[in-house]
Amino acid sequence: MFIVAAGLLFALGLLGACDRAQTQPQRDTRKKIWEDFSGDRALANVQTMVDFGPRPPGTEAIEKTRKFLTTQLEASGWKVERQVFFDETPRGKVEFVNLIATFAAKDSKPSFLVCSHYDTKTFDTARFVGANDGGSSTGALLELARVLAERPDLAGKVELVFFDGEEAYEAFTDTDGLFGSRYFAKRLAAESKTAQFRGGILFDMMGDRSLTITLPPDSPAELARDIFASAEALNVRKHFTYFDRDITDDHTPLNDAGIPTIDLIDFDYPPWHTPEDTMDKLSAESLRIVGAVTAYYLSEIALK
């Protein structure tokens, strides 16, 4: 009887322990999202695009880039829409294609934009592959898509936009350059969707080995404050400062449409718009820093 009773008590004790284990919350052992962002993966994405060659709008190389981006995004669970439009340029009417990626998450819709342009500037007499200008930001945005997809609750609140036609053919004016972002912002306004987005981040030229993110001086104050705070939290604040003059970029039409958007760009980059903007100028660590700060900001501040 003693042996039977002892066995019964032991069994009841195990059942009690199992019940307590089931009722106690399980500790999340995953890396923090900003720790999961891989600069090496982002750099590999850039290499793939650079290997396609120069990517001006309407070229075979930019279509290969679109297919690569779409395949990678869909593999992570993102739904990709091709926003096709035509616009007049100094070189006549050109077809452009924005890629808009959303994540199917239950009971959520995007409330924040993260963007990059993936085209390269047109040069008639030089081979310009845009490793940093167009490549670095797009490779990092693709890596951000991967890590966000592992947190569907966050991914469902973000819309990723890959702009075509950021580069001007001659000079930035109201009718030259920023073709993709101007069209995207115009469509949001026409469909009364601008109020859906409480803010946005634009990636551009962020792979420089000597990284200094130079925020435009007219950056939305709250966004700038929180980006600086995120960088401080990750001990990389020294890489973030303000630029000494205004910057025209794809964030401009979004801000004009009423969506506060900050441009994370390193404009202190000597090879800008030269054939020397090549892979050897880039650093996986620079991509990791900006990607990690963005992931921290999204998860700990913007989408908390």
The arithmetic mean of pLDDT across residues 5-13, rounded, is 44
pLDDT at 3: 40
For 184-211, what is each residue's pLDDT tens digit? 999 999 999 999 999 999 999 999 999 9
What separation in angstroms does the CA of 260 have from each of 99, 198, 225? 21, 7, 13
Q: Domain 31-302 is of which CATH architecture? A: 3-Layer(aba) Sandwich (3.40)
pLDDT at 125: 93
pTM summary value:
0.90
Asked if residue 129 has pLDDT above 90, the reply is yes
Residue ranges of domains in the chain = 31-302
Total residues found in the chain within this entry: 304
Q: How confident is the model at residue 107 (pLDDT cuts 50, 70, 90)?
A: low
The arithmetic mean of pLDDT across residues 2-16, rounded, is 44
The arithmetic mean of pLDDT across residues 80-108, rounded, is 92
Q: How confident is the model at residue 304 (pLDDT cuts 50, 70, 90)?
A: confident
pLDDT at 105: 66
The proportion of the chain whose per-residue pLDDT surpasses 90, expressed as a percent, equals 88
Q: How confident is the model at residue 7 (pLDDT cuts 50, 70, 90)?
A: very low
- Say if residues 249 and 166 touch (Cβ distance below 8 Å): yes
Rounded Cα–Cα distance for residues 291 and 174 (Å) = 31
Q: How many CB atoms lie within 10 A of CB 285?
A: 14
Average pLDDT, the chain: 92
